[in-house]
């Protein structure tokens, strides 16, 4: 939202404001935030679904190393970016086609929402992949940590003599 708002103020007010006139940022513009929630969720789902289908990746993407993780993600990213760019372009064109309307508030809303869609695409393509990779590494770390703890408990002959956990009221 802040990225699109900055672009709106810079582009619309400075460049286009002289042609169309000064249209204030109104409550109608806030509807664009709810519109972009749906579009953003769709883009997030497309990328996450491509990541969840990484088991279909070619055999050279297999492995547990960081390089294999990178190759798997590149494979998923290339699959998802095509669908995301088509839907984003369609949405931007749809909102910009509304600028032919003679009502200045609708023109302003269309430009602002098109900027929201573009900012959403940029952020989904840059920030969401890093969140997916961080989650994957975090999940791998904790899976390995749990496996190590289970192995230690299995190897420890005194594991059954340890003190039981405390109850809710504390030790009484």
pLDDT, tens only, 33-43 = 888 888 888 89
C-alpha torsion angle, residues 53, 55, 58, 62 (rounded to 10): 130
Assign 86 a pLDDT band (cuts: 50, 70, 90).
very high
> Does 97 have pLDDT greater than 90?
yes
The pair of structure tokens assigned to 133 is: 């990779």
* 51-65, 107-121, 131-145, 148-162: segment of lowest average pLDDT: 148-162
Rounded to two decimals, the pTM is 0.68
What percentage of residues in the chain have a pLDDT greater than 70?
Answer: 63
Assign 75 a pLDDT band (cuts: 50, 70, 90).
confident
Tell me the mean pLDDT in the region 106-134: 88
> Does 17 have pLDDT greater than 60?
no
């Amino acid at each position: 939202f802040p990225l699109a708002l900055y672009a709106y103020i810079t582009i619309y007010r400075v460049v286009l404001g002289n042609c169309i006139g000064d249209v204030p940022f109104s409550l109608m513009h806030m509807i664009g935030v709810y519109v972009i929630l749906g579009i953003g969720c769709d883009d997030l789902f497309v990328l996450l679904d491509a990541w969840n289908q990484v088991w279909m990746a070619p055999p050279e993407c297999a492995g547990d190393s960081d390089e294999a993780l990178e190759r798997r993600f590149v494979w998923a990213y290339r699959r998802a970016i095509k669908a995301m760019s088509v839907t984003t372009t369609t949405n931007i064109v749809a909102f910009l086609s509304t600028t032919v309307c003679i009502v200045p508030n609708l023109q302003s809303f269309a430009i602002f929402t098109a900027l929201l869609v573009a900012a959403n695409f940029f952020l989904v393509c840059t920030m969401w992949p890093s969140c997916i990779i961080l989650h994957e590494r975090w999940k791998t770390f904790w899976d390995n940590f749990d496996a190590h703890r289970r192995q230690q408990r299995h190897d420890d002959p005194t594991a059954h003599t340890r003190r039981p956990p405390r109850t809710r009221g504390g030790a009484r």
